[in-house]
Structure 1
Amino acid sequence: MALWQLYALSVALVSSFVASSSSSFYHTAVAPPQDLQISDPGLLGSLDIEWKPPPNVQAFNECTVKYKFEYRNTGDRDWKVIFTRKLKFRVGFDLSRTAEVKVQTLLEGRCTNDVEVQSDWIYATFQVPLQGKLESEVQNFHCIYHDWEYLKCTWQPSLLAPRGVRYGLYYWYEGLDHAAQCDDYIQDHGINIGCMLQNLSQAEYKDLSICVNGSVAATLLRPLYVTLRLHNLAKPSPPKQLVVSMSASEQLHVAWSPPGGETPPQCLEYEVQLAEDQGEAKATWASVSTQMETALTITRANQSRISCVRVRARTNIFCADQGFWSEWTQECFSVSRKEDKQLFILIPVILSLSSSFIICMLIGQCKKRSPAGKPLHASVGC
């Protein structure tokens, strides 16, 4: 047999094998899951999603059956994705918008020649009945997690809120059996406009679901639903014990202590600001940032006078996606150059010597003018 004939035969055999494998792959199919359902257990946005396996799952005992579960709120750009072998999940949604979920079956193993086979998607949505007009929802809802110790949330009554409205804040996070109500409200003229929540350490790095609703006779008010992450709302107190000194080589040394409270020291970053006066020019601020360190040595590039040094703190990127800066330390330290300090010491000495010389000269003049033999009184002539 000629060489080209052997080559043609081998190509035909390989093509036949590939076609046979492809045929077995394309003939392996899997059905989507069944009975996708969404239920609300009353946890302010955490919904239960469950489904049943596809009807023909028993036929694939040589393969692994998994599910690709995706969810989002209507209006979100991206889906959140979970790969699982479970048949039930509890995930958080914004109940002011429609919840959307979808699931498909994934099949892979010997029965598919180790190629992943995907079923069609099945879909479901959920929407709580929203009462009242959108304008009846509370306004300017805002929360800060102070010193990782307590959460302070505030809001303003809606534009459509009638007199006598009563607002309530409810919250839930994983670990609570049921939604709880705020027991420490902030009031303005008898109306609840805020809430203080203590002992939330178990809720850190979890979804904290909050609902603020209002009630008043004969009027429907729309509730506000939000989901928070405490570590992204943290605001520490200002750093403490700020100490500023200047070395002989014109290096500025700034040191401080971490703020109080329960803020983890390893979760803090700092910003140091210097106000520099350059002659008659207006003071300008220069900033220096540092991660976790509580001391800085700054080499001054000019001979300007440092009129103020201050420090503030914030949760760093290792512990949060974002956070609030603390207030600045209140002290302002005026740090002068070495020659300025020498001048500050010399000027009073020179003034003192000059004053003494002038007084002596005046006393001498008075003595010359005084008649002979008469005493000189301090009250006369001087």
Structure 2
Amino acid sequence: MNCTWQRGRGAPGDTQYFLYWQNSRYDNTTECELYIKDENGRNIGCRFQNVKIHTEKAYFMVNGSSKDSLIQFYDEYIQLYKIEKLMPPSNIAVHCEEIKNDCIIQWQRPQINHSNKDKCFRYEISIKYKVRRIFSPTFNINRYGGVNSHTFQRPNTRKKYYLKMRAAGSACLVSPAWGEWSAPVEFGKSKSMPSDTLHPE
């Protein structure tokens, strides 16, 4: 997790900033251990490692110091799950029937420490194929909580298809914003491929 800030408009040039935070009311307030610095050595952000997300709000405070004047601090309570950017679904696999148009897409939910229920996630699947080096219009498919598979009917069994997925929260304490797209996965046939194969990139 990264947290960044900007120098105040009227802050003196020698102003240095320090971040303190408390992940929950049961934790001690601690200072940032790994600051992000600008070209002048001024702290402009903090990198957090191995952050556990709790149900209650985390507390952040950025304090400044200068030899010339007092610097107004800034503080805020933030529910971390609301600003979390989800990783893509994992273990994406596609199996296509040799004769029929059906392809079964399967995946596993993103791994996060504060929710282990499939019903907490929704998914977007993007599928397209290439014709003479030009991609087709995209097939966009939405799947909702508790579902970890989808049957896709190929318009053409002779084409090679390209699939990618992303996840968002649909319930529970999971961010409702769409997360990162997965790496493309190829499936289906092409002229150079005599049988169905799966090629994660």
Output the TM-score relative to the length of structure 1.
0.43
1:121-160 counterparts in 2 under 5 A?
151-160=1-10
Q: Work out which of the residue numbers 156, 163, 166 in structure 2 matches 1:312.
A: 166
What code does the residue aligned with 1:196 have?
Answer: R
Conserved 8 A contact 1:253-1:296:
yes
1:200-279 counterparts in 2 under 5 A?
201=52, 204-247=54-97, 248-260=99-111, 262=113, 264-266=115-117, 267-277=120-130
**Structure with larger RCO (C-alpha < 8 A, sep 6+):** 2
Give the 3-state SS of the residue equivalent to 1:319 in structure 2: coil
Give the 3-state SS of the residue equivalent to 1:232 in structure 2: helix
Aligned length: 187
Higher helix share: 1
Which residue does 1:332 correspond to in 2?
Answer: 185
Give the 3-state SS of the residue equivalent to 1:156 in structure 2: coil
What code does the residue aligned with 1:297 have?
Answer: T
Separation in structure 2 between the aligned mates of residue 274 and residue 206 of structure 1, nearest angstrom: 38
Instruction: Measure how far apart 1:270 and its partner are.
Output: 2.0
Separation in structure 2 between the aligned mates of residue 270 and residue 314 of structure 1, nearest angstrom: 6
Q: Work out which of the residue numbers 260, 265, 287 in structure 1 matches 2:140.
A: 287
What code does the residue aligned with 1:204 have?
Answer: H
RMSD: 3.0
Conserved 8 A contact 2:121-2:169:
yes
What code does the residue aligned with 1:327 have?
Answer: E
Which residue does 2:37 correspond to in 1?
Answer: 187
Distance 1:252 1:162, change over 3 A: farther
Separation in structure 2 between the aligned mates of residue 208 and residue 234 of structure 1, nearest angstrom: 13
How high is the sequence identity, in percent, across the aligned residues? 23
Which structure has the larger Rg over C-alpha atoms? 1
Conserved 8 A contact 1:207-1:227:
yes
Separation in structure 1 between the aligned mates of residue 111 and residue 178 of structure 2, nearest angstrom: 14
Unaligned runs of 5+ residues in structure 1 are 1-150, 346-382
Which residue does 2:26 correspond to in 1?
Answer: 175
Distance 1:263 1:179, change over 3 A: closer
Unaligned runs of 5+ residues in structure 2 are 195-201
Give the 3-state SS of the residue equivalent to 1:333 in structure 2: strand
Higher strand share: 2
What code does the residue aligned with 2:178 have?
Answer: W
What code does the residue aligned with 2:89 have?
Answer: P
